[in-house]
Amino acid sequence: MTTRTQKQEDSMSTATTPTRAPHSDVPTGHKTPEGRVGAGLFDPKQLIKSLPDAFRKLDPRVMIKSPVMFVVWIGSALTTVFSFTDPGDWFGWTISAWLWLTVIFANLAEAVAEGRGKAQADTLRKAKTDTVARRLLKDGSEEQVPGTDLKIGDLVVCEAGDIIPGDGDVVEGVASVDESAITGESAPVIRESGGDRSAVTGGTKVLSDRIVIKITTKPGETFIDRMINLVEGAARQKTPNEIALNILLASLAIVFLLAVATLPPFADYAGTHLTMVVLVALLVCLIPTTIGALLSAIGIAGMDRLVQRNVLAMSGRAVEAAGDVSTLLLDKTGTITLGNRQASEFVPVRGTTEAQVADAAQLSSLADETPEGRSIVVLAKEKYGLRERHQGELANAEWIAFTAQTRMSGVDVDGQKIRKGAAGSVIAWVQERGGMVTDDADTLANRISEAGGTPLLVAVEDTDGARVLGVIHLKDVVKDGMRERFEELRRMGIKTVMITGDNPLTAKAIAEEAGVDDFLAEATPEDKMALIKREQAGGKLVAMTGDGTNDAPALAQADVGVAMNTGTSAAKEAGNMVDLDSNPTKLIEIVEIGKQLLITRGALTTFSIANDVAKYFAIIPALFAAVHPGLDKLNIMGLSSPDSAILSAVIFNALIIIALVPLSLKGVQYRPVSADKMLRRNLTIYGMGGLIAPFIGIKIIDLLISLIPGIG
C-alpha cells in the first residue's frame, strides 16, 4: 500500500479522492460472480454438467497425468478384457464395473471442482464484449478500430457509456467506472490519472466524464482473459508440493505392484490360484487411490475458494506458498487501522478551557471536508453540545485553506483569526504575531504523539493578542478484532510486521495497541525490499499487500504478493494474486485458505495411506484362509468368502472417493494451532479414521453381498 506520512510536523493532510461511492467499502460477502456465496458441494445440476467431463477424462492422454489413477484405468481395461474371455463370470464383470466406476468417480471429483470454476468463467465471458475503440492519433484526431486491433502503447478515449476496450492506465482525466462485471460490487469506483488509482480493466464501463487510457496489454492477454483461463483450471500448473506428492504416490503404486506380483507364486505353492481379475482388484485396493483421485480436486478447490472471496491467484503455487508463509507485512492505514484519523478529545493549555478549544476547533473545521475535519465538527457537537454550524451562516467569514507550505487551515471571522494545524506551524504563526506560547503546548503535543495520536494545535488571534488555545487529539483507530486476529496468526507461527509512514513513536504506539510483532516506521520502497530480503535470507516465506507502482518491486520480491485491483497495472503485474475487492485485510484470509489447502491435502493423504493398510489386513486373510486355516484368526471381520472380501473392498474403494469429495472441495476445517498439535490431530482423526473406516465399510458391504442369492 502507498503510505501517508503523518509526522507531527506534517500532520495536516489534504482530502483524498474516494475510490468507491458511499458505502461501497462494505465487503461483498464472498460472492461468486453469480452472486451466490458458493454452490452446493453436490448440486445436482453441477453433477449432471460435470458427468460428461468425467467420461471425457477417460482419455488415456488425460489419465496418464495422474499415475495412480492411470494404473486403475489400465486395471479396469485388463479386467474388462479378461471378462470377455469368460462372459459367464459374474465376479469378473462386477469387479470390472466397479473399477471403471472408481476411475469415473475420481474424474467426477476433478470435473465438479473444475465445473465450479467454469460457471464463474462463463459469467466473466459475458463481460467480454467485442468493443469498438476510439484510438487517438498523433495529430489529436480519433479513429474507430476494433478493440482486438489495439496494441500496447495505444491511447484510447472513453466517455460516459463506453465500454473500456482493453487493460490500461488512465493518463488523462478522471471518471467513475462500473467494475461489477469483475468484482461483483455494484458501487462504482473512481479512476484518475497520475496516482495509484489509474489502472482500468477491459470490459468495464465508464459511467461519467472522459478519460484517456494508455493500453498496457495485448488482445487475448487481458486481465479478464487471464481470469477465465485460471478459474477454468486451464492454466493451473501443478505446484512443487503436488508434484512431490504425485511422485510419492507413484512410488507407492510401484511398491504395491511388486508386492502383488509376488503373490501368484505363493498362491501356486499353497495350492490355490489367483486370477488376473483378483490380482488387479487387489492392486487397486492397495495403492493410494483415494488421495490419487482427489489430489487435483483439492488444488482446484483451493483456488476456487479464493475466487469465491474475489481473489484471483495467478498460479496454484501462490496459493500453496500462502499456506507456508511465516512473515506477514501489513500496511497500517486501511489494514490495521480504519484509515481515517478521528478526533478523540480537545486538550486545553493552561489558562483556557475545553469548551474554548472545542468552539475554535469546530469553527476552523467547517470548511475542512477531510474525514479528520468532519470528525472535529462532530466531536465538538456531541461531546460539548455545540450546535453544528455551517459555512452559509458565516457570511463574512474568510476561509483559509490548507496548503503544504503553511500546514494550517482556519477561518477569519468576527474579528478573530483561528488557525489549526501542525504544532510547529501553529507555534510559528503565534510567535510571528507577538503572541506567547505556554510551555505545556509542545509537551501536550509530544505526549499525544507518543501515545500514537496526531496532535493538531488550535490558536486564535483577537483583541487579547495571539495565543495557543489547546491541542486536538487525532487518533488512528485500530479496527475491532485485529489484536485477536494477530494472536491467531502468532499461534500459527506467523510473524506480523506493520508497515507505516508514521514516525517511530507513533508507529510504536499503534503497533502495541494492535498487537503486531514488529513494525517498520517511515517506510520507503527500499526499506520494504530490504525487510523482505532479510526475512527470506532466514529461510522464511513472506507475504505482503500493495497497490502503488512504488510497491511493485516489493510485491515481486515477496513469495505472496497481493495487489489491490484499484492499484496500478505495475502493481498487479508484479503480484501473484489480485484482490478484486481491494481489501488489504484479506491477506489474512488468503494465508488461512493456503494453510487449509495444505492441511486438507495432508489429512486426506494420511487417511488414504491408512486406508490402504486397513484394506490389506482385511483382504489377505480372507483370500488365503481356505489354504492356510491359521490365517482365519486374522479375518477379524468374518468376511463370508474370498470373492466377497475382494468385491467388498473394491466397492468400498470406489464409494470412499465419492464420500470424500465434499471434504476435498470444502477443505478440512482450519484451526490456528502449532504444527505439532496439528500433526497429532490429523494422525488421530484421519489416521485412525483411515484405519477403522475400511473395516466397518467392508463388513457392511460384505453383509449386503451375502444376502444376494447365488453370491453370498
Beta strands in 66-129 (DSSP E): none
To the question of whether residue 406 is assigned a binding role by annotation, the answer is: yes
| Contact between residue 518 and residue 495 where contact means Cβ atoms under 8 Å apart | yes
Nearby residues of 139 by Cβ (< 8 Å), 6 or more positions away: none
To the question of whether residue 596 is assigned a binding role by annotation, the answer is: no
To the question of whether residue 442 is assigned a binding role by annotation, the answer is: no
To the question of whether residue 143 is assigned a binding role by annotation, the answer is: no
To the question of whether residue 209 is assigned a binding role by annotation, the answer is: no
* Residue in 64, 77, 68, 63 with CA at minimum distance from that of residue 608: 68
DSSP-assigned beta bridge partners for residue 542: 327
Q: Buried b vs exposed e over 242-255: b needs ≥16 C-beta within 10 Å?
A: beebbeebbebbee
Beta-carbon-side half-sphere exposure of residue 329 (alpha carbons within 13 Å)? 34
CA distance 414 to 676: 71
Query: What distances in angstroms separate CA 588 from CA 231, 367, 479, 688, one per listed residue?
Result: 22, 38, 14, 32
To the question of whether residue 482 is assigned a binding role by annotation, the answer is: no
Q: Is 331 a catalytic residue?
A: yes
To the question of whether residue 605 is assigned a binding role by annotation, the answer is: no
Residue of 162, 178, 304, 331 marked active site: 331
To the question of whether residue 404 is assigned a binding role by annotation, the answer is: yes
For the chain, counts of helices (H) and of strands (E):
24, 21
| Contact between residue 4 and residue 501 where contact means Cβ atoms under 8 Å apart | yes
The amino acid at 122 = D
* Residue in 215, 296, 220, 334 with CA at minimum distance from that of residue 579: 334
To the question of whether residue 409 is assigned a binding role by annotation, the answer is: yes
CA distance 514 to 534: 24
C-alpha cell at 452: 500514537
To the question of whether residue 408 is assigned a binding role by annotation, the answer is: yes
Query: What distances in angstroms separate CA 429 from CA 261, 346, 348, 409, 421, one per listed residue?
Result: 94, 20, 18, 12, 10
| Contact between residue 645 and residue 702 where contact means Cβ atoms under 8 Å apart | yes
Write the DSSP string, 21-79.
Answer: -TTTTS---S--TTSSS---TT-HHHHHHHHHHHHHTTSHHHHTTSHHHHHHHHHHHHH
HEC profile for 533-601? HHHHHCCCCEEEEECCHHHHHHHHHCCEEEEECCCCHHHHHHCCEEECCCCCCHHHHHHHHHHHHHHHH
DSSP-assigned beta bridge partners for residue 457: 421, 471
C-alpha cell at 490: 502468532
To the question of whether residue 615 is assigned a binding role by annotation, the answer is: no
Binding residues for Mg(2+): 547, 551
The catalytic site residues sit at 331
Binding residues: 368, 372, 402-409, 420, 547, 551
